Structure 1
Amino acid sequence: MKTVTMLLCLITMLLIDSAYSNTVMRLDMAHRDTLSPKPTPFHRIEDIMGMDQKRHGLISQKIKTKKGGARMSLGSGFDFGEAQYFSEITVGTPAKKFKVVVDTGSELTWVNCRFHGKGKEKREVFRAEESSSFRKVGCMTKTCKVDLINLFSLTTCPTPQSPCSYDYRYADGSTAQGVFGMDTFTVGLTNGRVASIPGVLIGCSTTGTSFHGADGILGLALSDYSFTSKATNIFGGKFSYCLVDHTSNKNISNYLIFGSTPSSTTKAPARRTARLDLNLLPSLYAINIVGISIGDTMLNIPPIVWDVKRSGGTILDSGTSLTLLADAAYKAVVSGLERYLVGVKRVKPEDVPIEYCYDTSKFDDRKLPQLSFHFKGGARFSPFRKSYLIDAAPGIRCLGFVSAGAPATNIIGNIMQQNHLWEFDLAASTLSFAPSTCL
């Protein structure tokens, strides 16, 4: 029986591969700050910093221990009072839609869920037992005991029939507890059709801390059981996204795409390409930054800041909002930018823990020089000024950097990435990027 089941799964995957070899999978993607009710601008910045610092702790802790494809919508969460990006996933049979945070720093895809009558009921939840395609992962299996150990699978096994449980612990003490299962995801294709992807690992979270406005997480980190691995195995070894302005409303979105990027996005300006170091910080998307410049001046930042082997290094992360820099880099960047803000009134908004904020109601942005990140090999990423002098409140803007301490992993967050197309070529281990309106 087991052999027959495996054969049927193989046939299904081959049929999918054949039927959709000339299409692209895509998901709509919107920024998470698009949920209501809206918080005050200052509270929003405070929340962003709190979440980013907790997330940096989690990532640091974690470090220590030719086909077409499909697309998903991707957009800002501004109207939701959140500082990340949302997409919708469709899970189970019959299929149900859930709003999830798109996170390149997480391996586990999970949704709020009920299993055997236990689970969250405040929002719409996934009722696993009502999905005919849901298959629990048994607690006695190698998958549970060995393969999912990095996803915090538990060793407890009350009976051989019990599901594999997890207790996903975050550095700030928040948690997600539930059981692992496999289910079918339904995805939209660029040719207007839909495809079913069977056997995707999903966490059925029955308790724990929820993300405001979201039903769960879409884990896009690179590991054997992440959604990325499953989707790229079918649609080709690439995925891409274009992050709309983080202050966009919920009606503005772009796409998270698995497979080759549509040709319309390859037009001028030409993309720049850098190496994607997939083995330096396992599951995370490490990039080899060698320096930061302001205008024509390369900042004096010690090389140790960029050296992974000496507890430095840099990752690109869609789940972090601001850009976190090791202390030496942070001081060099903010002092370098501050010189161009002399005469602009510096303010300290109440309850905003960010250090450098200014009354820029009469400030000409053109006076602020271009900041650039320099990659090994010569590529240069030059974000728009609004990505590093960010809106905090009407007339008030802040430098969008946070000190991560020392030594520390540097994180280029989603606000710095906005209004650029990013393509992750996992087969070639390259990262390509270019400015874009994302519209």
Structure 2
Amino acid sequence: MEGSFFCMFRRALLFLSLHVLMICFMHQGYAYGVEGKIASRSVSVSSLLPSPSCSPSTAKASGRKSTLEVIHRHGPCSQLVQDLSSLNHTKILLQDESRVKWIQSRSSNSSNSLEASAVARLPVESGITIGTANYLVTVGLGTPKKDLTLIFDTGSPLTWIQCKPCVVSCYNQSDPIFNPLKSSSYANVSCASTACSQLTSALGRSQCLESTCLYDIQYGDNSSSIGFFATEKLTISPKEVIDNFTFGCGENNQGLFGKAAGLIGLSDNNISILEQTAAKFGKYFSYCLPSSTSLIGHLTFGNDSGAPSSVSFTPLSTVRQSSQFYGISIVGISVEGNPLSIPSTVFSNGGAIIDSGTVITRLPPTAYSALRTAVGKAMANYTTAPAVSLFDTCYDFSNETIVLIPSITFSFAKGVDIDLHPSGIFYAEKASQVCLAFAANGADSDLVIYGNTQQKTFEVVYDVAGRKLGFSPNGCF
């Protein structure tokens, strides 16, 4: 009897120990490995799918005085969208592929160099990437102020808008087209000015109409904007107004800009908004892209008191022949806390950039193959789905409510490890086709591009003056 009692006691103690162990290794939907690293996340399938309705802002930067709301131009929060059912993911991904080819054509060792130049039919020396980025902000321009919705792009130097009288052509936009004759603060830039010289340096060319400076920006998808280089009052917020901001006032515009009024350029260049506001904001900005097209993020200029305190910084590097982009150093990838066996030279061969306008991260084939294999093993119990567009690793979650997603960690120089949000791991058009949100480059020597899908929910901090890039988790949701 006594032996039976001790046997029961030991079984109860074992059960209790296992229960405690499970609690330790499962917390808030995360499964942890033996070294405390996140191995997987329990995620509802519905949270991976786009929502038809706009949700209130989840951004944590609403109290900062120089903050703009960021919305996805194809989502329900965008006034540019007329019919959500018309959202064509295949078209978005095809445009993304065109952008990538054009960016990589700037690198002499890229396998895309000749192909992209032939497709674009534009001189490589123009150095401008395509303008089909997916995220929008609204700024004020002129006196009196007119609100304009613009695409924002870290890979473009020039800010421009469509202007009346549209002498040649203007595409359809949602906002009323800006009329410079009705603004008391508008002025054309002289050909003899330093600003016009900087324009020539940035774009590779400029022209003059009598003594007035003209700009001509051509993008890699044959989109373009041509017009007057001018100065105007730019309103970021009621407390942040930039006088004499130089921009393009376009009267001949065409291309894949949707119904946005133009584009705001955030690259590190003399004519970009970053350089023009350096005295005020210190060449420092950040943004957070939300987890879903139905949520709202933010773009913030400057490092004010409301900035995140827990930021992990990695150095910004210089990418040869791609100076308008922000270079980064990727040193490794882990799946479920386990580093993938990828030679250290794979990521350094072609260099790497971070880009707000590229949707899907492009990896060296060697790295992508290792990632796909590891994720495939972790997802072995789920039903696979056919490949689609850029994606060759897809799953059918139509009969699932909750799925267990393996963690993916990117390691950057100086010991910065970033655990991707689930929305940065899978790209979902519908429950029956949820795909690993990465694609392989043509060769290991191609430029690696860290895209906006993998940046979701992080506040991505650009301290350009300090030459470093930071990541702060949970900047928005």
Is the shorter-chain TM-score for this pair beyond 0.5, marking a shared fold?
Answer: yes
Quote the Cα distance in structure 2 between the aligned partners of 1:327 and 1:347: 22
Quote the Cα distance in structure 2 between the aligned partners of 1:393 and 1:279: 37
Give the 3 Å change call, closer, same or farther, for CA 343–253 of structure 1 in structure 2: closer
Shift of 1:331: 2.1
1:3-402 equivalence runs, <5 A: 24-34=65-75, 35-39=81-85, 43-44=88-89, 46-62=90-106, 84-115=134-165, 117-120=167-170, 122-123=172-173, 124-139=176-191, 143-144=195-196, 147-155=199-207, 157=208, 159-166=209-216, 168-188=217-237, 193-205=238-250, 206-248=252-294, 252-263=295-306, 265-266=308-309, 270-277=310-317, 281-307=322-348, 310=349, 312-348=350-386, 352-362=389-399, 367-402=404-439
Q: Which amino acid is the alignment partner of residue 299 of structure 1?
A: L
CA contact (8 A) 2:346 2:364 kept: yes
CA contact (8 A) 2:142 2:234 kept: yes
Quote the Cα distance in structure 2 between the aligned partners of 1:119 and 1:40: 25
Give the 3 Å change call, closer, same or farther, for CA 331–84 of structure 1 in structure 2: same
Q: Which amino acid is the alignment partner of residue 163 of structure 1?
A: C
Quote the Cα distance in structure 2 between the aligned partners of 1:145 and 1:259: 27
* Structure 1 residue runs without a partner (length 5+): 1-22, 66-81
Shift of 1:225: 0.9
Q: Which amino acid is the alignment partner of residue 239 of structure 2?
A: V
Shift of 1:198: 1.6
Q: Which amino acid is the alignment partner of residue 462 of structure 2?
A: F
CA contact (8 A) 1:184 1:200 kept: yes
Deviations 1:290-315 (A, max 9, x none): 111112332233333322xx4x1222
Shift of 1:152: 4.5
SS across alignment from 1:368: strand
SS across alignment from 2:372: helix
Deviations 1:367-409 (A, max 9, x none): 4321111112211011112211121213421111122322221
Q: Which amino acid is the alignment partner of residue 257 of structure 2?
A: F
Quote the Cα distance in structure 2 between the aligned partners of 1:215 and 1:385: 32
Shift of 1:107: 0.9
Shift of 1:219: 0.7
Quote the Cα distance in structure 1 between the aligned partners of 2:411 and 2:68: 30
Give the 3 Å change call, closer, same or farther, for CA 116–136 of structure 1 in structure 2: farther
1:412-431 equivalence runs, <5 A: 412-431=450-469
Quote the Cα distance in structure 2 between the aligned partners of 1:356 and 1:225: 41
Deviations 1:306-330 (A, max 9, x none): 22xx4x1222211111112222222
Give the 3 Å change call, closer, same or farther, for CA 36–333 of structure 1 in structure 2: farther
Seq. identity, %: 27
Q: Which amino acid is the alignment partner of residue 260 of structure 1?
A: N
CA contact (8 A) 2:133 2:152 kept: no
Deviations 1:73-102 (A, max 9, x none): xxxxxxxxx972110011122221111112
Among 405, 408, 424, the residue aligned to 2:442? 405
Quote the Cα distance in structure 2 between the aligned partners of 1:364 and 1:296: 25
Deviations 1:257-294 (A, max 9, x none): 1112544743xxx4322112257652322111111111
Pairs aligned (count)? 383
Shift of 1:146: 5.8
Quote the Cα distance in structure 1 between the aligned partners of 2:402 and 2:424: 12
* Structure 2 residue runs without a partner (length 5+): 1-63, 76-80, 114-131
CA contact (8 A) 1:200 1:230 kept: yes
SS across alignment from 2:316: strand
Give the 3 Å change call, closer, same or farther, for CA 233–54 of structure 1 in structure 2: farther
TM-score calculated relative to the size of structure 2? 0.73
Deviations 1:224-274 (A, max 9, x none): 1101122232123321112112332xxx423211112544743xxx43221
Q: Which amino acid is the alignment partner of residue 185 of structure 1?
A: L
Higher mean displacement: 297-306 or 368-377: 297-306
Shift of 1:37: 1.0
Shift of 1:220: 0.8
Quote the Cα distance in structure 2 between the aligned partners of 1:169 and 1:121: 15
Quote the Cα distance in structure 2 between the aligned partners of 1:278 and 1:258: 22
Give the 3 Å change call, closer, same or farther, for CA 150–63 of structure 1 in structure 2: farther
Quote the Cα distance in structure 2 between the aligned partners of 1:116 and 1:354: 40
Higher mean displacement: 209-218 or 118-127: 118-127
Deviations 1:320-367 (A, max 9, x none): 111122222222222221222224222227x74432221023458664
